[in-house]
């Protein structure tokens, strides 16, 4: 009896199983869904350059517009890094249909990501940078439901991130 009670307590203490992140397979509806205004909510990264940026990032919004080619999008970003306002309107996103990835190019710096299936008003990106995991959450509005936020935090936990490694904007 003691063994069964101990086993049930041990099983109850285990973290819930982690469902794999499900990437979006690009189709004709994917890119129009990306267009428009987004507000960056939170992110985590083990990639040292991104980690430093996340620590300094206090607020960020970005808008995605059609580019001059079918496989290209233009991005305007407005960010507050510590106490400095930064406006970038020269970056682009390249679309790779064959493997459903997006590569953000800002000057000579590139970052590749896959979109994770989620609510239409959320943009969850899994960042792929030299085997350093990363995940970010953006939304159409500054307010994200408690359920969506908990789901995002569970995904971070499954990727091995702690609360101290998750950075929220104001």
Give the CATH number, domain containing residue 74. 2.40.128.20
Kindly state whether residue 35 falls inside one of the protein's structural domains.
Answer: yes
Strand (E) or helix (H) holding 151? helix 146-158
The residue that leads in pLDDT, 48 or 114, is: 114
pLDDT at 7: 37
Kindly state whether residue 19 falls inside one of the protein's structural domains.
Answer: no
What is the percentage of the chain residues whose pLDDT exceeds 90? 66
pTM of this structure: 0.85
Kindly state whether residue 73 falls inside one of the protein's structural domains.
Answer: yes
Kindly state whether residue 40 falls inside one of the protein's structural domains.
Answer: yes
Count of structural domains within the chain:
1
In total, the chain counts a number of residues equal to: 170
Kindly state whether residue 15 falls inside one of the protein's structural domains.
Answer: no
Check whether 1 has a pLDDT greater than 60: no
- Give the domain range for residue 91: 29-168
pLDDT tens track for 37-52: 999 999 999 888 788 8
Kindly state whether residue 66 falls inside one of the protein's structural domains.
Answer: yes
* Phi, psi at 72, each rounded to 5°: -140, 140
DSSP code per residue over 37-51: EEEEEEEEE-SHHHH
Kindly state whether residue 12 falls inside one of the protein's structural domains.
Answer: no
pLDDT at 49: 78
pLDDT at 73: 96
């Amino acid at each position: 009896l003691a063994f069964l009670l101990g086993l049930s307590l041990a099983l109850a203490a285990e973290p819930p199983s982690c469902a794999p992140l499900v990437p979006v397979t690009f189709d004709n509806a994917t890119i129009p869904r990306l267009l428009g205004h987004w507000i960056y909510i939170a992110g985590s990264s083990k990639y040292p350059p991104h980690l430093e940026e996340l620590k300094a990032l206090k607020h960020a919004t970005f808008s995605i517009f059609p580019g001059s080619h079918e496989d290209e999008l233009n991005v305007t970003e407005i960010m507050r890094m510590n106490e400095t306002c930064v406006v970038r309107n020269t970056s682009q996103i390249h679309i790779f249909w064959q493997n459903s990835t997006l590569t953000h190019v800002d000057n000579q710096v590139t970052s590749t990501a896959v979109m994770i299936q989620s609510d239409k008003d959320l943009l969850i990106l899994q960042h792929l940078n030299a085997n350093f995991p990363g995940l970010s959450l953006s939304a159409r509005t500054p307010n994200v439901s408690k359920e969506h936020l908990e789901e995002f935090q569970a995904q971070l936990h499954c990727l091995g991130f702690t609360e101290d490694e998750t950075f929220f904007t104001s």
